[in-house]
Structure 1
C-alpha cells in the first residue's frame, strides 16, 4: 500500500476516534442531565429511586454513581469544546460550510461502519466534526508545507478525494417471498424496521444492529448489485419491495444518499497541509496543550 495512503488512513482513524469518543461522552453527558432533571422533578417518589426487595437505592447514591462513572470525562469534554472555541476565536480560525460539508461526506463514505446511533443526530455529528477540524487547524496553524509537496501528495493520492455515490442502507433478509411480503405488510402497518430486522432477518451480522449495513458504494462487492439498483429508485427513509437475492429475499431501507464528487487540488489543498502536518506530529491529537493558554481550572484539580 502507498505509504501516503496508509498515513492518510491512520490520520483519518485518529480523527474518527476523536469524534467517536467525543460523541460518546457527549451522549453520556446528555443522559446524565436527563436523569438528573427527572430525579429533581420527581419529588413524589421521595429520596429513593429504586427498591430491590428490602434494599433501597437513594437518589444521592444514584447521582454519585453517575458522577464517578461519567463525571470527569463529561466535564473534560465540555471544557475541551470551550477551549477549542475560545482558541479558534483568538486566532480567527473558522471552518466554512463547504469545508464542513466535504469533511462530513468523506468521513461517512470512508468509514462505512458508522452506525445509525453515531450519526442519527446530524447536528451533533457535524458539531463534533467542526470541533475536530478547528483543533487540527489550531495544532497546525504555524506549519508551512511547500506547494511542491502538497501537489505531490494530491497527485499520489487522488483516489482519497474521489468520493463515489454512496447509500446508507439497512436491510432485512428472509428465506421466502411470503415472509418478505409479511415484513413489508408489517412495515406498512407501522412496525419498526429495526425491530423487525432484529426479530426476523437471517443476516445475523446486521440483524443484531437492527439491519444496519452502513454507508455503501457500488464497489462493495459483498452486496448484491440489486441493492444499488433499487436504492437508486428510493427516496430517503423509504423501504423497498422484496428483492430476490441469493438465499432468499431482502427488503432494504434507504436512510441517506451521498452524491459522488471529485475534489480538485485547490479544494483540498489546506486539508492536505493539515494531514501532512499531523503526520509529522509526535503524540496524539489533544486539546490539552491549550488548557494553560486559556487558564483552565476545574473541580478535579482540587482532588489532586
Structure 2
C-alpha cells in the first residue's frame, strides 16, 4: 500500500477553546461567484468553437438526421446566452465604476478574501471550486469593486471594527485547506477494487465518474472543494483524515457516518495564513457597512449610471 495511507489524526479544537464565533455574511458572495464561474465557462466553450459560414456544418447526427452547428449554437444561446452576456456586461460595468470612483483592489485584499472564502464554507460548494484560481481571483475582484462602491459613503467607527476583531480574532487565523476528491462505494470489496485500479494508474477523477455511487460528486470527478482539518460541515472521518494525505495521494477506505465507504484524495494544499488587525480592518469595516444596507444590490443597479445596454433590451 502507498505511503499516503497514514493513520488518522483527531480534529483540533478551535483556538478560542470552542467559543462560538460570529461569521460575516458569505452566502451572497458564494452565489455570485458560482454564477460568474458558470457564465465564464460557457463563454469560453463558445469561444473555442470556430465560426463557420452559414453554420451548416454537421456536429452530430441521429438516425441519419444531422444536427448543425447553427442549431447547436442557437440552443446554447437560448439556454445560457442571457446569463453569459449578463456576466460580461456586469464585469465591464464594475470596471467602469472602479475608474469613476477611483477604487483600487490589491492582490493582498484578494488573498484575504480567497482565504476567508475557503475557510468559511458552510457546506461543500463544488461548483465554485471547479473554477481555476486565476478566474476565481478575477471574480473576487469584481465583487470587491461592487462592495466598495456600495459602502464608500458609509462610515464605520474604528472602535466597532476593533471590537469585532477582538471578539472574532480566530476567524483570521486561517487553517490549511485541502482541495479534495472523493469516491463513494457501498462495500469494502468495491473500495478495494477502486484502490487496485488507482494503483494501476487509473486517474482518480475518471474513477470517481465511473464508480462513485454519490452522483452529485461523481459527476464532478469526485471534487468536493477545499476541506480543513476538523471541518464540522463534512463527515467527521473525512475531516479527520484529509490532513494526513499527501498531495496526489489517496486514503485507505473510510467508513463514513452513513455506513458508506469512501476513498479520499487530495489534489492541492492551500497553506494557512494568519492575518493581523491591520490586514483585515478594511475588510471588517466594509462587511459591517454592507450589513447596514437595506437590501442586496447587484451590478445591474449601476447600468443606467454607466449607460449599459444589451441585446435583451430592458
Q: Number of matched residues?
A: 289
Partner in structure 1 of residue 135 of structure 2:
124
| CA pair 57-131 structure 1, distance change in 2 beyond 3 A | same
2:236 to 223, 237, 243: 223
1:29–1:70 Cα contact (<8 Å) kept: no
Partner in structure 1 of residue 159 of structure 2:
148
TM-score (norm 2): 0.77
Question: Deviation digits for residues 133-179 of structure 1, max 9, x if unmatched?
Answer: 11111221222111112122223333432322322222335644x75
1:104 to 87, 105, 114: 114
1:139 to 113, 138, 150: 150
| CA pair 209-64 structure 1, distance change in 2 beyond 3 A | closer
Shift of 1:116: 6.5
2:178 to 167, 180, 199: 167
Question: Deviation digits for residues 32-64 of structure 1, max 9, x if unmatched?
Answer: 2234x2x528x9x94544444475444433333
Shift of 1:104: 0.8
The answer to whether structure 1 residue 20 and structure 2 residue 29 are counterparts is no
Counterparts of 1:117 and 1:259, CA distance in 2:
19
Shift of 1:297: 2.7
Partner in structure 2 of residue 254 of structure 1:
266
Counterparts of 1:165 and 1:158, CA distance in 2:
17
SS in 2 for 1:298: coil
Question: Deviation digits for residues 168-199 of structure 1, max 9, x if unmatched?
Answer: 222335644x7555434422443121232344
| CA pair 147-210 structure 1, distance change in 2 beyond 3 A | same
Q: Going by fraction, where is helix more abundant, 1 or 2?
A: 1
Counterparts of 1:59 and 1:208, CA distance in 2:
26
Question: Deviation digits for residues 81-130 of structure 1, max 9, x if unmatched?
Answer: 11111221232222211111111111122125132673342211111111
Partner in structure 1 of residue 22 of structure 2:
5
Counterparts of 1:61 and 1:32, CA distance in 2:
13
The answer to whether structure 1 residue 193 and structure 2 residue 204 are counterparts is yes
TM-score (norm 1): 0.80
SS in 1 for 2:312: helix
2:97 to 87, 100, 103: 87
Q: CA RMSD in A?
A: 3.3
Superposition pairs of residues 235-254 of structure 1, within 5 angstroms: 236=247, 238-240=248-250, 242=252, 245=255, 251-254=263-266
Partner in structure 1 of residue 287 of structure 2:
275
The answer to whether structure 1 residue 300 and structure 2 residue 312 are counterparts is yes
Shift of 1:132: 0.8
2:56–2:70 Cα contact (<8 Å) kept: no
SS in 1 for 2:81: helix
Superposition pairs of residues 54-73 of structure 1, within 5 angstroms: 55-73=65-83
Counterparts of 1:276 and 1:117, CA distance in 2:
25
Partner in structure 1 of residue 8 of structure 2:
none
Which deviates further from its counterpart, 111-120 or 262-271?
111-120
Counterparts of 1:66 and 1:160, CA distance in 2:
42
| CA pair 282-260 structure 1, distance change in 2 beyond 3 A | same
Shift of 1:17: 1.0
The answer for unaligned runs of 5 or more in structure 2 is: 1-18
Counterparts of 1:50 and 1:245, CA distance in 2:
44
Which deviates further from its counterpart, 142-151 or 109-118?
109-118
The answer for unaligned runs of 5 or more in structure 1 is: none
| CA pair 52-193 structure 1, distance change in 2 beyond 3 A | same
